[in-house]
Structure 1
Amino acid sequence: MSRYSVNEFVNSTKQQDKGEGLFELETPRLLEINLNGQVWAKAGAMVSYRGNIKYEREGIFEHGIGKMFKKALSGEGASLMKATGNGKLYVADQGKKVSILNLQGESIFVNGNDLLSFESSIDWDIKLMRRVAGMMAGGLFNVRLEGSGMVAITSHYEPVTLLVTPDNPVFTDPNATVAWAGTLEPEFVTDISLKTFLGRGSGESIQMKFSGNGFVVVQPYEEVYYSQQS
C-alpha cells in the first residue's frame, strides 16, 4: 500500500469495535455510545450516529420545576438531550479530551461545561455557586452526579487529579476546575495580591479552596463562560 494513499487513511482512521460496553473511547476526543435504551448527552454534542436513535431536547419540566429554576439562573449552561433507541452514537465537545468514569454508588461534582454524557440510571442535580456568580463571566455552576452507571466528562488537554487531605487543602482557578469528589465543600477565597498572577479572565483573584478528603480534577486551560442571559 502506498504511503498517504486513501486506503491507508481509511484503514488508520476507521471506526473499530473494542467491545468495551456502553461507553468506549473511539479516539481520545470522541466518545462512542453503544446505545440500547437511553442516555443523556450535552445538547449539540452529537457528531454522528447509525441505527434507530431518537433525539429529544430536555423538556422544561422533565426534571421538576426546581431544576428548571436553577437552570434558568445558571444560563442554561447544562442543556441536555435525551437519546433513545438502538445503535451507535458518537458525541464530542469542541475536540476536548474525553474521560469515562464508572460510578458505583459514588457521587462526583462536574463543572456544567465539562459534562458530556451519562446513563439515565444516574441521579443528577445542578448546584449553583451563588457566592461567586456575580464575580465571574456567566457565573459558575456544577452538576452533582450520583448512583451507578457511566459518566463521560471532558477537559481541554490532559486532566490532572490532585488529592486533598484535611492537612493539605488545594486551591484552584475556578475556570480550570473540571470536577471534584469526596467530602469536599469548596470555598471561594480572594487574594488581591494574586490578581496579576492567577488567571486572565474576570475572576483573576478568585480561587476555589478545597478542604477535607477527596480529589479535584483540573485542566491546563482556563474556560471562560458566557451566560446566555447576558
Structure 2
Amino acid sequence: MNRYSISQFVEHTKQQDKGEGLFELETPRMLEINLEGQIWSKMGTMVSYRGNMKFEREGILEHGIGKLFKKALTGEGTALMKVNGNGKLYLADQGKKISILHLNDEAIFVNGNDLLAFEPSISWDIKLMRKIAGMMSGGLFNVRLEGRGMIAITSHYEPLTLIVTPDNPVYTDPNATVAWSGTLSPEFVTDISLKTFLGRGSGESIQMKFSGEGFVVVQPFEEVYFGNTGSSS
C-alpha cells in the first residue's frame, strides 16, 4: 500500500508537461489535450480543464441530413462533443486504458463506445451493424475514421492486435472487439453450439469474421452496451 505525506502525494501525482504535442498520455488512463483550436471527444469524458474552452454537443444537422449522425451515437447512449478553445483538456472514460494513434492518410474502424477523441482534420462516418441490430446489444455501431491526424481510443485493460492474412482469418466476439483496419469488412457468423458453452440466454453466439489483409484489436473484456435488448455478455 502506498502511503504519502500530502506533499509527497502531490509530488508523485502532479501533472507533468511531457512536450508530446496535441495528444499526450498524462497517465495510461488519462488523456491530456493541449488544445489550440478545436477537438472532437466522446460526450461525458471531460474530467478537468484549464484555460478558455467551450463545450458543445454534436448538432443533429451539423453534418447534413445525410449523416444525421445516423442517430447511432445518440441512440446508443454515446454522443460526441465539440470542444473549442485554448488550454489543457483532460479526458478519461471509466478508467479504460487509452491508446493514441497517428493516422497518415489511413483509415481505421473503431467501435463507437471505444472512441475517445480525434482531431477535426480526421473525416469520419458512422456504420451501424444492422445485421445484428435485433440480435445483440440493440445493434452495434462503429466509426470509420480516415485522414491525417491523431485519434485516441480506449480499451478495458491492455489491447491485443491480431494480424489478419488471406489464409488466416480471425474470429472475434463483437463485445470484445475494439478496432480494425480500414481495409477489412467483417462478416457476422453464428455458432449455435457455442452458445451452450458461453451460457447465452437467448439467440445464437455471434462472431465477427475478419478476412483479407489487415489487423483487428481486441480487449480482454466483453463490454455490454447501452440499449441491450438481446443476449448479454
Which ranges of structure 1 fall in alignment gaps of 5 or more residues? none
Asked whether 1:129 is paired with 2:113, we answer no
Structure 2 counterparts to residues 174-213 of structure 1, below 5 A: 174-198=174-198, 205-213=205-213
Q: Determine the structure 1 residue equivalent to 2:50.
A: 50
| CA-CA distance at 1:202 after TM superposition | 5.9
RMSD: 2.0
Instruction: Quote the Cα distance in structure 2 between the aligned partners of 1:31 and 1:18.
Output: 12
Q: Determine the structure 1 residue equivalent to 2:118.
A: 118
Deviations, residues 102-139 of structure 1 (Å, cap 9, x unaligned)? 10100000000000000001000000111011100221
Instruction: Quote the Cα distance in structure 1 between the aligned partners of 2:203 and 2:96.
Output: 23
Describe the SS at the equivalent of 1:64.
coil
| CA-CA distance at 1:203 after TM superposition | 6.5
Counterpart residue type for residue 183 of structure 2? T
Deviations, residues 80-101 of structure 1 (Å, cap 9, x unaligned)? 1001010000001000000000
CA contact (8 A) 2:50 2:88 kept: yes
Q: Determine the structure 1 residue equivalent to 2:148.
A: 148
Deviations, residues 22-54 of structure 1 (Å, cap 9, x unaligned)? 000000000000000000000011000000111
Instruction: Quote the Cα distance in structure 1 between the aligned partners of 2:141 and 2:44.
Output: 19
Percent identity of paired positions between Structure 1 and Structure 2: 80
Counterpart residue type for residue 157 of structure 2? Y
TM-score between the two structures when normalised by the length of structure 2: 0.92
CA contact (8 A) 1:201 1:224 kept: no
Instruction: Quote the Cα distance in structure 2 between the aligned partners of 1:117 and 1:178.
Output: 14
TM-score between the two structures when normalised by the length of structure 1: 0.93
| CA-CA distance at 1:13 after TM superposition | 0.2
Residues 107, 203 of structure 1: alpha-carbon distance in 2 compared, 3 angstrom cutoff: farther
Q: Determine the structure 2 residue equivalent to 1:11.
A: 11
Residues 7, 101 of structure 1: alpha-carbon distance in 2 compared, 3 angstrom cutoff: same
Instruction: Quote the Cα distance in structure 1 between the aligned partners of 2:77 and 2:204.
Output: 21
| CA-CA distance at 1:195 after TM superposition | 0.8
Which ranges of structure 2 fall in alignment gaps of 5 or more residues? none
Q: Determine the structure 1 residue equivalent to 2:158.
A: 158
Residues 20, 152 of structure 1: alpha-carbon distance in 2 compared, 3 angstrom cutoff: same
